[in-house]
């Protein structure tokens, strides 16, 4: 009788232990995934994090591949104070460098470390162009897929063709003779904060060059960091 009781207790104990393990695993999984159930949840939380961003730093690299050659279109880095409408940015285009400081509607700029010049801006909304553009792409995504890589979400979205063309135009590319073939934007997003840490946009197209359709690949990479860490941006001495 004692043996049967012990076996009965052992069986119940095993079942109870299994249930506890399953429940614990479920709770750990739910917590580690931040209640993200699908791509829409991830996009929503990421967009919310962008809207709450006050400060951030960025690096941006754009490359163009065509006719078996690679060209770096732009190499840029900077920092932004979103709420106070301040931005500092340096850009390198081949051997040409540009340094820009924007405070409210006043822009200061110089080329190749020369003398500072000033200019009034009519539209200061461009100061937060990077985050605004990404919110637009995320909100208008036709297709999206997501996967988890340790503490980072990888989100792939297909933006609207119009947005892709606008992005290319903002980089100085004449899109009048371009036929888009494929395009995708990939986001690496921190699982705990939903901050975007890297954005990669790849566009494949055909361009009309001297009457010939030429395959072209355009790759744009943006690295974002130091979210909401205060930055100091002051007007230069002119």
Q: Domain of 129: which CATH number?
A: 2.50.20.20
Same domain, 155 and 203: yes
Give the model's pLDDT for residue 22. 41
Same domain, 111 and 57: yes
Same domain, 25 and 67: no
| Tokens read off for 104 | 């409210």
Same domain, 182 and 67: yes
Same domain, 131 and 210: yes
Same domain, 11 and 97: no
Long-range residue pairs from 105-111, CB within 8 A, at least 24 positions apart, any chain: 106/235, 108/235, 108/236, 108/238, 110/236
Say if pTM beats, i.e. exceeds, 0.85. Answer: no
Confidence of residue 164 (pLDDT cuts 50, 70, 90): confident
pLDDT tens digits, one per residue of 31-83: 333 456 788 888 888 888 988 899 999 998 888 888 888 887 778 899 999 88
Same domain, 128 and 177: yes
Q: Average of pLDDT values for 134-149?
A: 75
235 within domain boundaries? no
Higher pLDDT, 95 or 214: 214
pLDDT at 226 over 50: yes
104 within domain boundaries? yes
The structural domain count of the chain equals: 2
Largest CA distance in the chain: 97
Q: Average of pLDDT values for 157-171?
A: 72
Most confident of 53-67, 158-172, 174-188: 53-67
Domain that holds residue 190: 39-225
Q: Is 18 exposed, middle or buried (0-12, 13-18, 19+ CB in 10 A)?
A: exposed
pLDDT at 104 over 60: yes
Same domain, 11 and 79: no
Same domain, 119 and 167: yes
C-alpha closest to that of 110 among 126, 97, 122: 97
Contact by Cβ (8 Å): 163, 68: no
Average pLDDT of the chain to the nearest whole number = 77
238 within domain boundaries? no
Count, residues in the chain? 238
63 within domain boundaries? yes
């Amino acid at each position: 009788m004692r043996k049967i009781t012990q076996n009965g207790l052992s069986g119940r104990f095993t079942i109870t232990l299994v249930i506890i393990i399953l429940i614990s695993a479920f709770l750990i999984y739910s917590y580690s995934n931040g209640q993200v159930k699908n791509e829409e949840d991830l996009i929503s939380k990421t967009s919310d994090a962008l809207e709450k961003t006050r400060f951030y730093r960025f690096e941006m690299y754009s490359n163009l591949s065509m006719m078996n050659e690679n060209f770096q279109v732009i190499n840029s880095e900077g920092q932004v104070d979103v709420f106070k409408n301040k931005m500092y940015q340096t850009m390198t285009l081949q051997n040409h460098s540009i340094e820009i400081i924007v405070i409210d509607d006043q822009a200061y700029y110089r080329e190749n470390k020369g003398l500072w010049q000033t200019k009034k801006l009519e539209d200061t909304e461009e100061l937060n162009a990077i985050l605004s553009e990404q919110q637009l792409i995320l909100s208008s995504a036709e297709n999206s897929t997501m996967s988890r890589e340790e503490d980072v979400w990888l989100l792939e979205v297909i933006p609207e063709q119009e947005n892709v063309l606008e992005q290319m135009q903002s980089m100085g590319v004449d899109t009048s003779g371009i036929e888009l073939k494929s395009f995708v934007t990939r986001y690496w997003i921190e699982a705990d904060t939903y901050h975007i840490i890297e954005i990669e946009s790849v566009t494949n197209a055909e361009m009309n060059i001297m009457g010939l359709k030429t395959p072209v690949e355009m790759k744009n990479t943006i690295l974002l960091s130091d979210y909401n860490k205060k930055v100091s941006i002051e007007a230069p001495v002119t």
